[in-house]
Amino acid sequence: MSGYSQINGGQVWYELAKAEVNSDARSLFFFLLAPATERPTAGLRRFLPSEPLSFMPDWSLETAQEALRALERADLVRYDPKAALIFVPFLLVMQPCKGPNAVNGAASAIENYPDSPVLAGALEHLAQAAREAAANARERADGDAKKKESAERSAEQMEDLARSLTARLSRVGQGELPLQPPAKGLASPSLGDAKGLQRGSETPSKGLGPAAENKTGSPSEAPSEAPPKGVPRGLRSPFEGASRVTRARARPDPEPEPEEKESPRKPPPRGGPPSRLGSVLGRLGMGKGKDPGGNP
């Protein structure tokens, strides 16, 4: 039965309906229940959001990320992007580990995984299964004298394994390795806020550094930059603290346009202009002497 997964379809659809997730999240959930690559061990396996893209050509990385975030919000999966591990608790309901061989095999596989909070559910399940296997071995030892020695060794081995698993559970399950909060816009959805991150990028953009510390160790503001040349100390610019009205008034007024000088008027001709009567008398030959207008 290697490579096969036992799935209770009715229970799966009930859990998805109760979680009220969309179709993309449902598709990803089925992919995690029966993956085409690595079979889960006690509900745990390695996973990257880009993995489903090989089997869902119409998906983008952003679609896979959003589907994974939806499953996390519904508490159907737990994902650690740093360790690239995902835990599906529902797998333990459909495929529990029972018996010494199953428990030993799962425990050996988990030893290769790095410590992560997502291991807590699998470790707790395996520790309980090891204790139950030890109890069953002792019951068989009491009923069969010939197999008593072998059953005792199996029971002791399961008890030692249960103690080892419990010790690791206490190490990863007490908040020493907290998961990062999920965030939008990452290839792994638990790396912070989507703002400040490039779409499809797996590394967050550089944020602001920590606040500067003074000699006493308390955070303080970062030292201000030196003011520009010609600006009094304490101001970063000549207009710092000035209102818009003050700035408008500080601007120099435009120079007025020079007025056009009027050209001096020429004095009227001496004796004044000839009168109309004098010109008429001149044409009649009566122009000797002064005409009534005073012209010669």
Q: Where are the domains of the chain?
A: 9-172
The residue among 30, 35, 67 whose CA lies nearest residue 49 is 67
For residues 124 and 119, give the distance between their C-alpha atoms in angstroms, rounded to a whole number: 9
Q: Output the pLDDT for position 285.
A: 58
Q: Residue 13's pLDDT band (boundaries 50, 70, 90)?
A: confident
For residues 124 and 132, give the distance between their C-alpha atoms in angstroms, rounded to a whole number: 12
- Tell the residue number behind the tokens 């997730």, with chain if given: 21
Answer whether 227's CB lies under 8 Å from 236's CB: yes
Q: Output the pLDDT for position 210.
A: 46
Q: Output the pLDDT for position 142.
A: 67
**List of residues 6+ apart from 295 with CB closer than 8 A:** 271, 272, 274, 275, 278
Residues making up the chain, counted from first to last: 296
Answer whether 76's CB lies under 8 Å from 52's CB: no
Q: Residue 206's pLDDT band (boundaries 50, 70, 90)?
A: very low
* pLDDT higher than threshold 60 for residue 122: yes
State the amino acid at position 64 in one-letter form.
Answer: A
Strand-strand pairing, 78-80 and 85-87:
antiparallel
Q: What is the mean pLDDT of residues 135-140?
A: 83
Q: Output the pLDDT for position 143.
A: 61
Q: Output the pLDDT for position 209.
A: 44
Among the residue ranges 52-56, 58-62, 74-78, 257-261, the one predicted with the least confidence is 257-261
For residues 43 and 32, give the distance between their C-alpha atoms in angstroms, rounded to a whole number: 9
**DSSP summary character for residue 260:** P
Answer whether 182's CB lies under 8 Å from 124's CB: no
- Tell the residue number behind the tokens 């740093």, with chain if given: 82
9-19 and 23-33 helices, crossing angle to 10°: 140
- Tell the residue number behind the tokens 């001709």, with chain if given: 269
Does 138 or 21 have the greater pLDDT score?
21
* pLDDT higher than threshold 50 for residue 214: no
Strand partners, 80: 85
Where do runs of H (alpha helix) occur along the chain? 9-19, 23-33, 61-73, 89-94, 100-111, 119-143, 148-172, 244-250, 276-283
State the amino acid at position 214 in one-letter form.
Answer: N
